[in-house]
Homo-oligomer: A and B are copies of this chain.
Amino acid sequence: MSKVTRFGVSLDSNLFRRFDALIEGLGYKNRSEAIRDLIRDRLVAQEWESGTGPAVGVLTLVYDHAVRELTETLNSIQHKHIDLIIASTHIHLDSHNCLEVIIMKGPADLIKKTADRLIITKSVKHGRLLTTTTGRRID
């Protein structure tokens, strides 16, 4: 089991009250949990800035499946990065629109580059990359 460290934070009483109101509004049960989330979010941002080490990225692509050869193009790009892509979920949003959610794990820079290639593909209506973490060094 992992060890726990405890440290004290001192801050102005007014700031303290406003923070408590904020996190209560968000639904936090616990002040430590809110502080941990602020810390983790900063660390994940830094992981992506540095570009080093393994990261996790989730790419979304929205497109019309009826467009000729689009699915083939997207598949062929993905197959070139088979070691980066863990899974891909396909959702039929309506009779025309598809959402593809592609989960990648690997070097941050490589994930970004692969995402760019897929996003710029003609007839992809909207593409966006979410940057998260392997969780390994975020406890």
Contact surface of A with B, Cβ cutoff 8 Å: 2-16, 18-19, 22, 26-44, 46, 56, 58, 60, 62-64, 86-87, 89, 91, 93-94, 96-99, 101, 103, 105, 116-117, 119-120, 122, 125-126, 128-139
Contact = CB atoms under 8 A, between A and B. Distances in A.
Closest 6 CB pairs of A and B: A97-B135, A12-B139, A130-B130, A5-B16, A38-B38, A3-B13
Contacts of A96: 135
B31 A7 contact: yes
A37 B5 contact: no
Contact of A33 (B7, B60, B122, B128): B122
A10 B6 contact: yes
Q: How many copies does the complex hold?
A: 4
A72 B7 CA distance: 30
Given A5-B16, A125-B138, 11 more contacts: A4-B10, A4-B13, A11-B139, A15-B40, A34-B120, A35-B35, A35-B38, A56-B60, A62-B138, A63-B135, A126-B138
Contact of A7 (B8, B26, B56, B125): B8
